[in-house]
Amino acid sequence: MHPAIAELPRHRLFAEPSPLHRLEGLERALGGRVELWIKREDLLPLAFGGNKLRNLEFLVGAALAAGADTLITSGRRWSNHCRLTAAAGAHAGMSVHLILSGPPADATDPTRYSPAAGLEAILGAAVTQLPTADRDAREQAVAAAADRVAAAGGRPYVIPVGGTGLPGVWGQVLAADELLAQATEPQALPDTIVMPSATGGTQAGLLAGLRAVGNTAAVHGVLVARTDEELRPAISATLDALGQRLGPRVQVDDVELDPSQLGAGYGIRTAAADEATTLLARSEGILVDPIYTAKALAALIAGVGSGRWDGQRVLFWHAGGTPGLFEPLDGPPGQ
Ligand SMILES: Cc1ncc(COP(=O)(O)O)c(C=O)c1O
């Protein structure tokens, strides 16, 4: 492990690497033009798994090192990061307060019922649901929650939206190390990794981790929330911060961002993502979610169809999020 990481406070949430395996059924369904593999971040062991558990190891570690007893974070009502913060807090014996921004699901309407709040209640988190998705309102609610905790004698630690930035993304640098260690036997080092990118932290961490040890695999980030213009500066800032500790900085033109699957925006289904979901389910028996991973998979399928990756070994980064399958979401016309 890189010395910059070894000395950071870390609360271990899992002991085993997430599985890495071949996708022969999907490979056949796509005409055998590429060798396909999958990294099963969805199978990390807490609360339906997902990539954000890696960030939370370092965030909870930092919170405990700072003497905090309460984690406060925020996100949209389907946020995997929020559910996993509830799980990580429970694991570490900390209180958790979540600020979820709108649109709220409607518990009185069975077609608008959101399962996420139910999972967070089981995990013991206190949830505040805002009626709006306005970012300022969310930040104010987070600050107010921190003040309330402190006024009651608690010690709050605020985690940014998505657990992104440092120190959380060190977990993604470690994911790159884990992949490289796992992929040498059998020979499974990818030429290209295809993954969903929302706040960009996972992509920045993976890219920095690969380049730090000289691996040149392309990391193809499929935009699911923000546009290239919005996201590139955030990824660049994270790469700067990581580069200062890891050594050479990743060049910003090494960051591949694919806008083709964003559709009408974050959390809105697309027909291509729905088709990708059924293709993977029916060729492999593996489920993806409509908000993040199905859109990344749709980009992978489109890229294979176009011949872009012919003859390559392509790795699908299954970042998790499967509870999103049960969320009432807006969809493409006719659905
Ligand atoms: C399942 C899933 N995939 C991908 C992402 C995107 O990760 P990042 O915010 O680091 O870009 C998230 C973020 O919450 C997620 O929950």
- The neighbouring-strand residues paired with 318 are 40
Domain check: are 84 and 126 in the same one?
Answer: yes
Number of domains into which the chain is organized: 2
209: part of which helix (H) or strand (E)? helix 201-212
* 267-310 pLDDT, tens digit each: 999 999 999 999 999 999 999 999 999 999 999 999 999 999 99
Q: Where are the beta strands (DSSP E) in 246-321?
A: 256-258, 313-318
319 pocket-lining for ligand 1 (C-beta < 6 Å)? yes
Domain check: are 26 and 86 in the same one?
Answer: no
> What pLDDT was estimated at residue 146?
98
CATH code, domain carrying 131: 3.40.50.1100
Domain check: are 206 and 248 in the same one?
Answer: yes
Q: Is the pLDDT of residue 105 over 80?
A: no
Q: Whose CA is nearest to atom 3 of ligand 1?
A: 319
Domain check: are 175 and 302 in the same one?
Answer: yes
In a domain, 105, yes or no: yes
* 6-27 pLDDT, tens digit each: 999 999 999 999 999 999 999 9
Q: Given 104, 132, 163, which residue is the final one in a domain?
A: 163
Q: Is the pLDDT of residue 333 over 70?
A: no
Q: Given 148, 163, 178, which residue is the final one in a domain?
A: 163
Domain check: are 108 and 152 in the same one?
Answer: yes
Average pLDDT over residues 116-143: 93
User: Quick one: residue 265, left, alpha or beta (phi over 0 = left, psi -120 to 50 = alpha)?
Assistant: left
Domain check: are 170 and 212 in the same one?
Answer: yes
Domain check: are 83 and 43 in the same one?
Answer: no
* 220-279 pLDDT, tens digit each: 999 999 999 999 999 999 999 999 999 888 998 999 999 999 999 999 999 999 999 999
Residue with tokens 């798994």: 49
92 pocket-lining for ligand 1 (C-beta < 6 Å)? no
Q: Which of 18, 79, 114, 197 is catalytic?
A: 79
164 pocket-lining for ligand 1 (C-beta < 6 Å)? yes
Residue with tokens 């699911």: 224
- Residue 335 pLDDT level (bands cut at 50, 70, 90): very low
79 is catalytic: yes
Ligand 1 geometric centre to CA of 318 (Å): 10
**What is the span of the domain harbouring residue 118?**
52-163
Q: What is the mean pLDDT of the chain?
A: 94
Q: Is the pLDDT of residue 180 over 80?
A: yes
Query: Which residues, at least 6 apart from 308, have a Cβ–Cβ distance to it below 8 Å?
Result: none
Q: Is the pLDDT of residue 334 over 60?
A: no
Contact call for residues 128 and 141 (beta carbons, < 8 A): yes
In a domain, 156, yes or no: yes
322 pocket-lining for ligand 1 (C-beta < 6 Å)? no
pTM over 0.75: yes
Domain check: are 56 and 26 in the same one?
Answer: no
> What pLDDT was estimated at residue 111?
66
Longest dimension (CA), the chain: 62
Q: Given 128, 163, 198, which residue is the final one in a domain?
A: 163
> What pLDDT was estimated at residue 107?
66
* 195-205 pLDDT, tens digit each: 999 999 999 99
What are the C-alpha distances in Å from 290 to residues 105, 166, 238, 262, 268?
17, 27, 27, 11, 8
Ligand 1 geometric centre to CA of 239 (Å): 17
